[in-house]
Amino acid sequence: MASRPRTRGAHLGEYFTRQNVLKIFSSSSTFLTTAALSISFDKANAAHEVYQQLFANHPEVYQNFIPIFTDGCSKCSSCTSFACVFINSIISFQLHPSCSIFTAEITAILHALSHISSSPSDNYIICSDSLNALGSMTSLHRFSQPLTFKILELHNRLTSKGFTILFCWIPSHVGISGNELADNLAKSATNSSNSVPVNDVKKYVNSILHSKWQDQ
């Protein structure tokens, strides 16, 4: 968890309105409950200290939740990986070259839920910097994505057993320690995970065929 930094005299009220900072979307157990850090200003023009202060205040709202940070990355054109940072442990894996960055991000969230499933029933908050991954869980096409469907299925099973699990979007590369650690671990991952979604395989095969056709 990031420590609370000083904001160099800047008052946070100058950068965002309170109602746009934290939004809770509650729904039935079929869907997901999201604790979103919804930023109302341009990341490129905002000081990192503003984001750090914002996230430092976040635990005051969710102080009874155990944080888990996830991240996926594309280390090169032929390699993707992901990592999860838990309170007492970390995991990181390389994925098959055909896997997309979206697959890496969503797989990290799935592994976080798998870790929760073997933990005591409690309150957990999974923090990801991927809006695409989090958005896929509430999109109209969520059930057509195998990994997203697995997340929904596992989330539903855990909530029925008394777990409370929130999902939180956080900005990347602004000095939030848990996110920075997950990012670094994903970039340095060496262990392999062999699971590959069918859609990624199709894209991978098509790219190879297209490359061969161009070479002919």
User: Contact at 8 Å (CB) between 55 and 79?
Assistant: no
pLDDT of res. 7: 34
Q: Indicate if the pLDDT at residue 14 is higher than 80.
A: no
Q: What is the pLDDT of residue 106?
A: 93
DSSP, residue by residue, 171-198? -SSSS-HHHHHHHHHHHT--SB-----H
Q: What is the DSSP letter of 70?
A: E
User: pTM score > 0.75 for this model?
Assistant: no
Where is pLDDT greater, at 172 or 152? 152
Residue 130 has pLDDT above 80, yes or no: yes
Is beta strand 79-85 parallel, antiparallel or unpaired with respect to 66-76?
A: antiparallel
Cα separation, 119 vs 113, in Å, equals 10
Distances in whole angstroms, Cα of residue 38 to Cα of each of 18, 23, 88, 135, 170:
10, 7, 28, 13, 8
Domains in the chain, please, with CATH?
A: 50-211 (3.30.420.10)
Give the chain's mean pLDDT. 69
Q: What is the structure's pLDDT at 82? A: 92
pLDDT digits (tens, 9 = 90+) for 58-77: 556 677 888 899 999 987 66
H-helix or E-strand spanning residue 85: strand 79-85
pLDDT band at 129 (very low <50, low <70, confident <90, very high): confident
**Radius of gyration for the chain, computed over Cα atoms and rounded to the nearest angstrom:** 18
